[in-house]
Structure 1
Amino acid sequence: MDKACEISWFVERDIDIWLSEELRVNPAFASWFVARSGLPKEMIFPASRTQPSVVDETGETDVEAIFRSPSNATFALLVENKITAGFQRDQLARYIRRGKIGAERGKWNVFAVAVFAPRQYATAGLPESVRTISFEEAAEFLRANDSDLRTLYRADFLERAARARIVALEDYDPFRVEWWTAVDDMVRREFGDFFVINRRDFPKTTYINPKCAGMPYYLRVDLKGYLGHVDLSFKNVALDALASAVADAEGREFKLIENGKSSALRIDGLQPFLVGDGLGIVETRVREAYGAAFKLLGFWKTNRDMFDRVAFEPK
């Protein structure tokens, strides 16, 4: 059959939720995953409890899964999920410390730490006790053990997530991390939860693709900070069709441009910026650019029915 899953954009939270569910409801998968993680198999499957994003004084666990044995012993599996981001300094050492503290406090009797990531992800040099399990291995297990549509979908989901671009550890730059963190903080403060932010990459360029909730596949924002303009691009929509759709728009602040087979609404004349320009521009030039993206996406949201018709009408 054709691919069951057509999702093409992933953040780490997607994997957190995927794994939390599978360990909680799929006994066969939970047993396989536990065996790969190094925990003993003498326990009851699936997990008695799973929870994503568990935070304590030592940091965050992406997925915490609790298992019980027939004798009522408690086992904890602490999983760090990766798609594109590199490891933070001492990140897995903190996982191990978290496991030991949990045992000391009586939360569990035995624990294990695992990394769940694409096969291409660089995991050399991890602590000896930490096991690695790949998305591809998990997908292969699912396909080999069941053929219903739900299982095929979840296998496809992992395989598609595994294709994401990996951030090489040597690309890690503390200043870039600080700069993009400042940008994300500014965006949350100025625009609330309008933009979806889940930072897993710290690029060198200022070509940004901001997203808001509910964006359809035909829409993309191209915020080109280094050029000083922001485009709201409509994939495979001809310029004349887009021009006709927005002809009567009041108070429009954008121009129309053609981009290959697509077209876009553009706000230009913004002050260009680069990461190397420093933190001082975050509250000025970067905020102005995000403000333009906010206006364009707000215009789309207000007129979504009209834009949906334009995007979905037969070409």
Structure 2
Amino acid sequence: MPIGRKFERDIDLLLAEEFMVNEQFAAWFLSRSRLSHEVGARVVDVDVSKATSEGESDLIVYYERGSGERVALFIEDKINAPLQPEQAKRYVSRAEALLAGGDLEAVDYVLCAPAAYIKSCPAGAIDEFTTRLSYEDLAEHFAAAGTSLRAQYRARFLREAACKHKTHWERQIDDATNAFWDAAYALASREYPILEMGKKTYTKNQTWITFRPRDFPTMPQKVEIHYKGDRGFVDLAFGSTSAHRMHTALRSKLPADMTLHQTGRSTSLRIEVPAYSIAAGWDAGRGAVTAGFAAAARLISFFREHRDELMAAAVASRSTS
């Protein structure tokens, strides 16, 4: 008898089983991700609802190369539930901890959801999920994989789950967050116009913001400033690059308080600053935000001063991981 109501947990367990016992599915899924070059890697473990102090990952699928090194897919599964504020960024933070510790060599972030859900997400809400696979994509794979009752059941289950999508992501707004960022915008406009900060509405308790001055490139490598206020650092990020290779080219040129880090698929030139929280209010956070804006301004100036060297190092260190 068909299961009438589908929950995200049902999809999590269905996918976890397929990753562990169905090599064809595991290889196909990997081929659809940004780790598609990891041909021959095999699934060795799957974490379901893996929780850390940074939050919970619905699925972490660990693949092992022939050399023994591991890569992983971090998968968020959605049917109806809206994405929570900073949820995508917390996936990146969890993965970065494993990359920094040497447990993983490369990662990708995957959003699995009905096609309508993915389409309904506002611009910027799911940028960190660099791979998006719809339930319809998964169903089509199972339907094409064979005529077995099992494969057809999987396809039908996923199609029915896709039809359950009725709601979409909703931004949570509150007055305290807007008041905080209104004050921050006034500060940036008055003292740090180099940031070219725009005034907009922020998600409740949002502390991660991005600056991209108009002269910052998007090709051949995208360059942005990421201010992660609750973490206490500001990054000058170069997309799809290797921090190790950039460090080799730039280590003699970096100021003592700037360090290079691998952040997902990007290399980040980082300055540490005091952390803050929206809940504490603007009066408590003003000093930390001022320090963060000053660090962001320094990174923008540093990029402009050394643009040719930095971009040459970024292009030469392009990462395929």
- After TM superposition, the score normalised by the length of structure 1 is 0.51
Q: Point out the structure with max Rg over C-alpha.
A: 1
5+ long unaligned stretches in structure 1: 175-315
Counterpart in 2 of 1:291?
Answer: none
CA-CA distance at 1:24 after TM superposition: 1.3
Q: Does 1:12 align with 2:8?
A: yes
Counterpart in 2 of 1:150?
Answer: 150
Give a deviation string over 1:137-174, Cα, whole Å, max 9, x none.
01101111211111111111111111113323348688
1:1-315 aligned at under 5 Å gives the runs 6-44=2-40, 46-121=42-117, 122-123=120-121, 124-125=123-124, 126-127=126-127, 130-170=130-170
**Following the alignment from structure 2 to structure 1, what is the Cα–Cα distance between the partners of residues 78 and 129?**
18
**Following the alignment from structure 2 to structure 1, what is the Cα–Cα distance between the partners of residues 162 and 79?**
7
- Check 1:8–1:173 CA distance in 2 against 1; reply closer, same or farther (3 A cut): farther
CA contact (8 A) 1:12 1:81 kept: yes
- Check 1:53–1:129 CA distance in 2 against 1; reply closer, same or farther (3 A cut): closer
**Following the alignment from structure 1 to structure 2, what is the Cα–Cα distance between the partners of residues 169 and 79?**
17
- Check 1:158–1:139 CA distance in 2 against 1; reply closer, same or farther (3 A cut): same
CA-CA distance at 1:128 after TM superposition: 5.2
**Following the alignment from structure 1 to structure 2, what is the Cα–Cα distance between the partners of residues 43 and 68?**
10
Identical aligned residues as a percent: 34
SS in 2 for 1:16: helix
Higher deviation after alignment, 31-40 or 91-100: 31-40
**Following the alignment from structure 2 to structure 1, what is the Cα–Cα distance between the partners of residues 107 and 129?**
11
SS in 1 for 2:32: helix
SS in 2 for 1:165: coil
Opposite residue 131 of structure 2, the aligned amino acid is R
Opposite residue 18 of structure 2, the aligned amino acid is E
5+ long unaligned stretches in structure 2: 175-321
SS in 1 for 2:4: coil
Opposite residue 157 of structure 2, the aligned amino acid is F
**Following the alignment from structure 2 to structure 1, what is the Cα–Cα distance between the partners of residues 77 and 114?**
9
**Following the alignment from structure 2 to structure 1, what is the Cα–Cα distance between the partners of residues 37 and 147?**
25
CA contact (8 A) 2:115 2:136 kept: yes
CA contact (8 A) 2:88 2:128 kept: no
Opposite residue 111 of structure 1, the aligned amino acid is V
**Following the alignment from structure 1 to structure 2, what is the Cα–Cα distance between the partners of residues 20 and 95?**
18
Give a deviation string over 1:92-138, Cα, whole Å, max 9, x none.
11101111111111221111110000111024422255211000001
CA RMSD of aligned residues (A): 2.0
Opposite residue 161 of structure 1, the aligned amino acid is A
Higher deviation after alignment, 84-93 or 117-126: 117-126
CA-CA distance at 1:15 after TM superposition: 0.9
CA contact (8 A) 2:111 2:129 kept: no
Counterpart in 1 of 2:301?
Answer: none
**Following the alignment from structure 2 to structure 1, what is the Cα–Cα distance between the partners of residues 134 and 47?**
20
Give aligned pairs, total: 170
Opposite residue 72 of structure 2, the aligned amino acid is A
- After TM superposition, the score normalised by the length of structure 2 is 0.50
**Following the alignment from structure 2 to structure 1, what is the Cα–Cα distance between the partners of residues 97 and 167?**
31
CA contact (8 A) 2:88 2:129 kept: no
**Following the alignment from structure 2 to structure 1, what is the Cα–Cα distance between the partners of residues 158 and 152?**
10
**Following the alignment from structure 1 to structure 2, what is the Cα–Cα distance between the partners of residues 172 and 152?**
39
Give a deviation string over 1:11-64, Cα, whole Å, max 9, x none.
111111011111111111111111222113434455110121000111100001
